[in-house]
């Protein structure tokens, strides 16, 4: 195994498309916050992106294979940090999600746990020696994700907890899931969802979470709450038409948080179907480029790492854009690369750093 | 088994790519559906979001008296509200806001927190009807406290201290019950409508039509621009037949006593004054009536919200003897009837007493005239017995008793005229002749409202011309206002001219020495009337419960001036007033105010406003021994001075 890596092997094409999306995001953040108290957010977002790119280069330099060798320690550390949140966490708006760090910063462990999970799942399946997944492997892989997921759900942070799911799903799928297992998972999921909503004794979800999800099914139930948000988002998107419009939904503040969770609605309103489809196309190119990198990865572990990133990114896009167009309930999941927010940007670039890491080593061995 | 370097299944990777493609196609379809297929619908929704129809409230019409003087006006009233702009820390500003608006800061903070879960565009109403200095505070802090805003509404300014409160009524937000009634079907929740009195009866005239303004708003409901405006159509002013000067006289006459006073022009039915006591202040309802205040008003045994002039149904007492006299005369019985009053008489095995019995006196020989001015019960017991209940009912009904007069005020009561048929229908019992005797003196089952009584007596004083009492002259109303068509109806009750002349002559003696109420007489004014003292319980029973104020008799008086072709009738109900002669004093005060006003402003009586005017007058020359006042009348010419009339006396409390 050579230690020689070169930035010539860096995926510059991928980076260009990623930065293109970030640029559109910064532009939209500027437009959406122009006359509000959040004015100037786009400058901060630029800083985050610059910082993210730097972090990406740093991560790409550390051999992912070396990281994978140590992943059990990372995993233990991530569980420990989630426990720390449970014990020392700052309560804000009814949820314990943050730890106060020295220097006044707030640290949200559930974000970086996502990265660790990608590595842990990759490591687990890379080390697996069978072509077909056994039930015990299936259960163990599930447990790796389920433990931190339940802890995040407890905070409660339904949105982030849900983003752990695609990591497990992608791992299991690529790791050799059998049809039988897929059916069982689908059945269990269906029963679980049914129990959460229709059996009054099961208190897995907080009432506001249930309300968000039920108001999605019937927005009339709660026209001013999350149903209202979805309705306003649909109006924003729809009024954009083919070529985009004035953006009265965004600028009249009818659209909730247009710079974060609903940034795609704001963009769609101002740039219409053509613009929105263009952004989707950019994301699609990025995802296809990533899967291509997964195919050319030097080993199974590299493929799993890249596909883990693909899974998380796709899931974010599906849930966020799905919410904006009214297909999905409001879960508070941002649109990666576009939405304003440091932790979301940092996570994406760290994840991309790992992808680059894998790619730069594709000709090694 | 495969090695560490074996690749992940390429088929599965390709499958993953197709799944991603599927996700993107679904999302693209979502965008297509909203932005291309339903674009028009959502563009419209966005417009609706942004454009808010802000109602432009139409001011209600003023209420004026017959001479155009303002009784009810509007004033601009401001409410303070808190816009919930997320860029302000409302809790931190609470102290300053509370100080400026005189609110409790802790209570305010609690309210802000309670509203935290509500949608942002809904403002918090802080205070209604703020004072000028609170308004100044908001204006002065536009920059420091941009979240504070005001909204203006026209509110009713009623006369203070309950002046004319029952007649005017009050306004309020239309209730759900009212919205279900057909006459309110065009109104919207939140509309301010008349709830009682004239405000309710003529709501359609007074209300006007709200306009609207298309305002551009942001999601906080803050106006950021304006597209167009449909102006409001203000309500029309309403001119009452009430004369404020008369109303003041009547209000002052009744003072704090329980009861009602009505003054009416017998020629037209125009109500000149209408008072009911106890009263309430409708200004309390103009902003917000607290639950406590409301409960107090509703549960008060004296029923301050009741307009007794049209809603109190009470035994008319001896005032009913005038109706009895008409009945007796028309049937040819009364004019020849002579009765000897021993202070009591036996009817159907029961000793019925005359009121003088309790003074240990008798009336002696009594004819109809003496029976009227001395109010001899024995005479009317006998007359009632001779007439029988059905003939009494016939005349009472013809004179408008036992039915609504049709006055243009809501919720008029109908009173009751008993008859054989009535008793059978209501109690499934036979009428006993013994009951008729008591109806003869206005006791028993017969009940009247003051406005019914004034209408009946006015008809008698006018020789049978019976008008419909009303507070609005229909000619002052918009054309085709159907509800008012009946107000000018005149019915003719056939009364023998000799009969009503005789009866009104006797009524004149009521206020002369020898009558029941000589002390109420006003020198120089010819007043004919009749007192009444209606028992709440029988006099024998009353004696058992000494000094129980609740059992005190109700005093009545109906009188008019002058005796022939009268131009004003006054009816007084003095609840707990014990004797009609006290009611008579109140009535003559009102009559005196009327006559004095006519004499001061003689142009009201003639067409010509200046120059030589022929004036009718009455005056008295006291006898040297002071035993009997002599009234003299005549007509003479006076020179009218060309001086402007004194400014109208405004109702108390009107600014």
Residue B394 confidence class, pLDDT cut points 50, 70, 90: very high
Contacts 24+ apart (CB under 8 A), B513-518: B513/B627, B513/B628, B513/B629, B514/B373, B514/B374, B515/B373, B515/B374, B516/B318, B516/B373, B516/B374, B516/B375, B516/B580, B516/B581, B517/B557, B517/B580, B517/B581, B517/B584, B517/B585
Structural domain tally of chain B? 4
Residue B541 has pLDDT above 50, yes or no: yes
- Give the containing element (helix H, strand E) for B127: strand B124-127
Q: Using an 8 Å Cβ cutoff, are B277 and B259 in contact?
A: yes
pLDDT at B223: 67
Helix (H), strand (E), coil (C) string for B549-570: HHHCCEEEEEEEECCCCCCEEE
Partners of residue B28 in chain A, C-beta under 8 Å: 277, 280
- Read off the pLDDT of residues B243-273 as tens digits, 9 standing for 90 and up: 999 999 999 999 888 899 999 999 999 999 9
Residue B396 included in any domain:
yes
Q: Answer yes or no: do B551 and B646 share one domain.
A: no
pLDDT at A87: 83
Q: Answer yes or no: do B261 and B331 share one domain.
A: yes
Q: Answer yes or no: do B398 and B282 share one domain.
A: yes
Nearest CA in chain B to A177: B12
Residue B113 phi, psi dihedral angles, 5° rounding: -65, -40
Residue B578 has pLDDT above 90, yes or no: no
Q: How far is A260 from chain B (nearest CA, A)?
A: 16
- CA dist B234 to B117, B147, B459, Å? 38, 31, 39
- CA dist A72 to A66, A124, B483, B489, Å? 12, 10, 91, 103
Q: Answer yes or no: do B591 and B613 share one domain.
A: no
Partners of residue A299 in chain B, C-beta under 8 Å: 4-5
Partners of residue A280 in chain B, C-beta under 8 Å: 24, 27-28, 31
d(CA B199, CA B217): 35
pLDDT at B456: 94
Per-residue pLDDT, averaged over B493-513, amounts to 90
- Give the containing element (helix H, strand E) for B405: none
Nearest CA in chain A to B222: A252
pLDDT at B618: 52
Mean pLDDT check: name the lowest of A10-14, B343-347, B431-435, B483-487.
B483-487
Residue A1 included in any domain:
no
Taking an 8 Å cut-off on Cβ atoms, the answer to whether A299 and B119 are in contact is no
d(CA B377, CA B379): 5
Taking an 8 Å cut-off on Cβ atoms, the answer to whether A235 and B49 are in contact is yes
Taking an 8 Å cut-off on Cβ atoms, the answer to whether A294 and B39 are in contact is no
Mean pLDDT check: name the lowest of B230-234, B316-320, B431-435, B460-464.
B230-234
Nearest CA in chain B to A325: B30
Q: Which of B31, B36, B216, B227 to mutate to test the interface with A (most CBs of A within 10 A)?
A: B31
Per-residue pLDDT, averaged over B614-635, amounts to 52
Residue B44 included in any domain:
no
pLDDT at A202: 54
- B60 vs B175, which has greater pLDDT? B60
Q: Answer yes or no: do B220 and B307 share one domain.
A: no
Q: Using an 8 Å Cβ cutoff, are B317 and B438 in contact?
A: no
The separation between the first and the last C-alpha atoms of chain A, rounded to the nearest angstrom, is 6
Between β-strands B211-217 and B554-561, what pairing exists: parallel, antiparallel or unpaired?
unpaired
Q: How far is B45 from chain A (nearest CA, A)?
A: 6
d(CA A89, CA A104): 14
Partners of residue B2 in chain A, C-beta under 8 Å: 129, 131
Partners of residue A171 in chain B, C-beta under 8 Å: none
- Read off the pLDDT of residues B210-228 as tens digits, 9 standing for 90 and up: 777 777 776 666 666 776 7
Domain with B539, as residue range(s), is: 244-474+490-600
CATH number of the domain that B524 lies in? 3.40.710.10
Q: How far is A11 from chain B (nearest CA, A)?
A: 19
pLDDT at A37: 74
Residue B46 included in any domain:
no
Q: Which of A125, A130, A254 to mutate to test the interface with B (most CBs of B within 10 A)?
A: A254
Closest Cα partner for B187 from B171, B173, B170? B173
Q: Using an 8 Å Cβ cutoff, are B392 and B324 in contact?
A: yes
pLDDT at B141: 82
Residue B42 included in any domain:
no
Reported ipTM: the value is: 0.90
Structural domain tally of chain A? 1
- Show the DSSP H helices in B83-223 as ranges: 90-101, 105-114, 132-140, 165-168, 176-179, 197-201, 203-207
Q: Answer yes or no: do B379 and B503 share one domain.
A: yes
Q: Answer yes or no: do B438 and B465 share one domain.
A: yes
Contacting B residues, span 40-99, partner chain A, CB-CB under 8 Å: 41-43, 45-47, 49-50, 86-87
d(CA B535, CA B317): 7
Partners of residue A300 in chain B, C-beta under 8 Å: 4-8
> B21 — contact with chain A (CB < 8 Å)?
yes
Residue B644 confidence class, pLDDT cut points 50, 70, 90: very low
Which of B27, B45, B217 lies closest to A235 in CB terms? B45
Per-residue pLDDT, averaged over B61-84, amounts to 85
| Residue written as token pair 């559906």 | B33
pLDDT at A222: 46
Partners of residue A211 in chain B, C-beta under 8 Å: none
Residue A171 included in any domain:
yes
Per-residue pLDDT, averaged over B58-82, amounts to 86
- Read off the pLDDT of residues B599-622 as tens digits, 9 standing for 90 and up: 876 544 434 445 555 555 555 554
Closest Cα partner for A279 from A329, A244, A228, A331? A244
Contacting B residues, span 159-218, partner chain A, CB-CB under 8 Å: 217-218
> B630 — contact with chain A (CB < 8 Å)?
no
Per-residue pLDDT, averaged over B334-350, amounts to 89
Tens of each residue's pLDDT in chain A, 365 residues: 445 667 777 889 999 999 999 999 999 999 988 877 788 889 999 999 999 999 999 998 888 888 899 999 999 999 998 888 888 777 665 666 777 766 555 667 888 899 999 999 999 988 887 778 888 888 888 899 999 999 888 877 888 888 899 999 998 888 888 888 888 888 888 887 777 666 655 555 666 666 666 555 554 444 445 667 888 888 889 888 888 877 777 777 778 788 888 999 999 999 999 999 999 999 999 999 999 999 888 888 899 999 999 999 999 999 999 999 988 888 878 899 999 988 889 999 999 999 998 988 877 55
Q: And the tokens for B383?
A: 């007359």
d(CA A277, CA B159): 68
Q: And the tokens for B545?
A: 């419960």
Residue B403 included in any domain:
yes
Q: Answer yes or no: do B268 and B394 share one domain.
A: yes
Residue A2 included in any domain:
no
Taking an 8 Å cut-off on Cβ atoms, the answer to whether A277 and B28 are in contact is yes
Q: How far is B24 from chain A (nearest CA, A)?
A: 7
Residue B561 has pLDDT above 70, yes or no: yes
Spatial neighbors of B562 by CB under 8 A, at least 6 apart, are B526, B618
pLDDT at A215: 55
Residue B114 has pLDDT above 60, yes or no: yes
Q: What percent of chain B has pLDDT over 90?
A: 31
pLDDT at B647: 39
Q: How far is A299 from chain B (nearest CA, A)?
A: 5
Residue B418 included in any domain:
yes
- B400 vs B152, which has greater pLDDT? B400
Q: And the tokens for B118?
A: 């509500």
Domain with A50, as residue range(s), is: 7-360
Residue B539 included in any domain:
yes
Q: Using an 8 Å Cβ cutoff, are A276 and B35 in contact?
A: yes
> B118 — contact with chain A (CB < 8 Å)?
yes
Q: Answer yes or no: do B263 and B411 share one domain.
A: yes
Which of A174, A248, A280 lies closest to B24 in CB terms? A280
Taking an 8 Å cut-off on Cβ atoms, the answer to whether B13 and A303 are in contact is yes
Partners of residue A295 in chain B, C-beta under 8 Å: 10, 13
Q: Answer yes or no: do B623 and B584 share one domain.
A: no
Phi-psi region of A179 (alpha: psi -120 to 50; beta: other; left: phi over 0): alpha
Partners of residue B42 in chain A, C-beta under 8 Å: 234-235, 237-239
Contacting B residues, span 255-314, partner chain A, CB-CB under 8 Å: none
Q: And the tokens for A297?
A: 């990865």
d(CA B150, CA B128): 10
Q: Answer yes or no: do B410 and B284 share one domain.
A: yes
């Amino acid at each position: 195994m050579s230690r020689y890596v070169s930035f010539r092997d860096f995926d510059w094409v991928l980076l260009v498309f990623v930065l293109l999306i970030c640029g559109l995001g910064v532009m939209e953040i500027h437009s959406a916050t122009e006359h509000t108290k959040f004015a100037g957010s786009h400058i901060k977002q630029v800083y985050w992106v610059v910082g993210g790119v730097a972090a990406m280069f740093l991560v790409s330099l550390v051999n992912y294979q070396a990281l994978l060798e140590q992943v059990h320690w990372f995993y233990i550390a991530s569980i420990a940090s989630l426990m720390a949140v449970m014990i020392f966490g700052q309560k804000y708006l009814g949820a314990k999600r943050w730890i106060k760090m020295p220097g006044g910063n707030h640290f949200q462990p559930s974000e970086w746990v996502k990265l660790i999970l990608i590595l842990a799942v990759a490591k687990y399946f890379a080390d697996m020696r069978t072509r077909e997944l056994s039930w015990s492997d299936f259960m163990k892989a599930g447990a790796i994700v389920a433990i931190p997921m339940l802890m995040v759900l407890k905070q409660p942070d339904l949105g982030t907890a849900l983003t752990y799911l695609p990591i497990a799903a992608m791992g299991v799928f690529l790791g050799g899931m059998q049809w039988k297992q897929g059916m069982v998972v689908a059945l269990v999921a269906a029963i679980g969802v049914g129990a959460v909503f229709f059996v009054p004794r099961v208190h897995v979800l907080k009432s506001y979470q249930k309300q968000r999800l039920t108001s999605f099914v019937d927005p009339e139930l709660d026209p001013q709450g999350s149903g209202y948000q979805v309705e306003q988002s649909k109006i924003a998107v729809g009024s954009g038409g083919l070529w985009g419009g004035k953006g009265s939904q965004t600028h009249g503040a009818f659209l909730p948080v247009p710079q974060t969770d609903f940034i795609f609605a704001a963009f769609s309103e101002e740039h219409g179907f053509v613009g929105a489809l263009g952004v989707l196309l950019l994301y699609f190119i990025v995802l296809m480029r990533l899967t291509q990198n997964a195919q050319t990865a030097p080993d199974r572990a590299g493929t799993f790492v890249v596909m883990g990133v693909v899974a998380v990114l796709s899931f974010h896009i599906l849930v966020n854009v799905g919410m904006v167009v009214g297909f999905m309930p409001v879960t508070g999941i941002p649109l990666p690369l576009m939405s304003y927010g440091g932790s979301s940007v940092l996570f994406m670039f760290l994840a991309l750093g790992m992808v680059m890491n894998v790619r730069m080593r594709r000709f090694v061995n | 088994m495969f090695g560490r370097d074996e690749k992940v299944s390429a088929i599965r990777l390709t499958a993953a790519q197709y799944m991603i493609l599927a996700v993107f196609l679904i999302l693209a379809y979502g965008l297509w559906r909203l932005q291309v297929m339903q674009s028009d619908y959502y563009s419209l929704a966005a417009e609706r979001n942004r454009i808010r129809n802000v109602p432009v409230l139409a001011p209600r019409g003023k209420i004026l008296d017959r001479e155009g003087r303002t009784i009810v006006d509007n004033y601009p009233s401001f409410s303070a509200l808190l816009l919930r702009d997320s860029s302000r820390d409302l809790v931190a500003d609470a102290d300053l806001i509370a100080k400026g608006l005189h609110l409790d800061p802790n209570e305010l903070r609690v309210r802000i927190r309670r509203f935290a879960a509500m949608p942002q565009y809904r403002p918090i109403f802080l205070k209604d009807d703020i004072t000028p200095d609170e308004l100044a505070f908001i204006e002065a802090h536009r920059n420091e406290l941009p979240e504070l805003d005001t909204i203006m509404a026209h509110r009713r300014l009623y006369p203070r201290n309950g002046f004319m409160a029952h007649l005017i009524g009050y306004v309020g937000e239309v209730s759900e019950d009212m919205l279900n009634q057909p006459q309110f079907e065009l109104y919207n929740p939140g509309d301010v409508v008349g709830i009682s009195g004239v405000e309710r009866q003529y709501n359609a005239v007074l209300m006007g039509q709200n306009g609207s303004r298309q305002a551009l708003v942001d999601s906080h409901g803050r106006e950021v621009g304006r597209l167009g405006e449909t102006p409001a159509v203000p309500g029309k002013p309403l001119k009452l037949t009430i004369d404020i000067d008369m109303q003041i006289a009547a209000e002052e006459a009744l003072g704090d006593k329980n009861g009602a006073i009505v003054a009416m022009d017998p020629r037209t039915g125009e109500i000149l004054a209408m008072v009911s006591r106890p009263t309430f202040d409708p200004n309390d309802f103009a902003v917000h009536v607290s639950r406590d205040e409301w409960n107090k008003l509703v549960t008060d045994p004296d029923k301050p919200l009741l307009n007794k002039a049209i809603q109190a149904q009470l035994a008319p007492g001896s005032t009913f003897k005038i109706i009895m006299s008409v009945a007796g005369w028309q049937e040819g019985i009364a004019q020849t009837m002579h009765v000897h009053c021993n202070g009591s008489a036996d009817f159907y095995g029961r000793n019925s007493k005359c009121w003088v019995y309790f003074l240990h006196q008798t009336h002696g020989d009594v004819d109809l005239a003496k029976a009227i001015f001395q109010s001899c019960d024995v005479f009317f017991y006998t007359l009632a017995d001779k007439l029988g209940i059905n003939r009494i009912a016939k005349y009472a009904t013809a004179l408008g008793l036992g039915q609504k007069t049709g006055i243009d005020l809501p919720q008029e009561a109908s009173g009751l005229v008993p008859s054989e048929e009535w008793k059978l229908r209501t109690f499934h019992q036979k009428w006993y002749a013994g009951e008729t005797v008591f109806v003869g003196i206005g006791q028993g089952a017969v009940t009247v409202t003051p406005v019914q009584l004034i209408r009946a007596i006015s008809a008698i004083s006018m020789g049978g011309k019976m008008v419909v009492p009303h507070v609005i002259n229909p000619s002052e109303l918009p054309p085709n206002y159907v509800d008012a068509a009946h107000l000018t109806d005149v019915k003719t009750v056939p009364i023998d001219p000799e009969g009503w002349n005789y009866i009104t002559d006797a009524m004149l003696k009521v206020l002369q020495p020898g009558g029941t109420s000589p002390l109420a007489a006003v020198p120089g004014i010819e007043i004919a009337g009749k007192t009444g003292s209606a028992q709440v319980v029988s006099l024998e029973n009353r004696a058992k419960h000494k000094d129980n104020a609740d059992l005190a008799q109700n005093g009545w008086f109906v009188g008019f001036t002058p005796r022939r072709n009268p131009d004003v009738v006054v009816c007084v109900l003095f609840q707990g007033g014990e004797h009609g002669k006290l009611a008579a004093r109140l009535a003559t005060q009102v009559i005196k105010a009327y006559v004095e006003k006519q004499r001061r402003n003689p142009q009201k009586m003639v067409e010509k406003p200046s120059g030589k005017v022929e004036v009718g007058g009455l005056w008295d020359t006291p006898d040297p021994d002071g035993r009997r006042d002599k009234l003299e009348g005549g007509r003479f010419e006076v020179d009218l001075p060309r001086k402007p009339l004194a400014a109208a006396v405004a109702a108390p409390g009107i600014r």
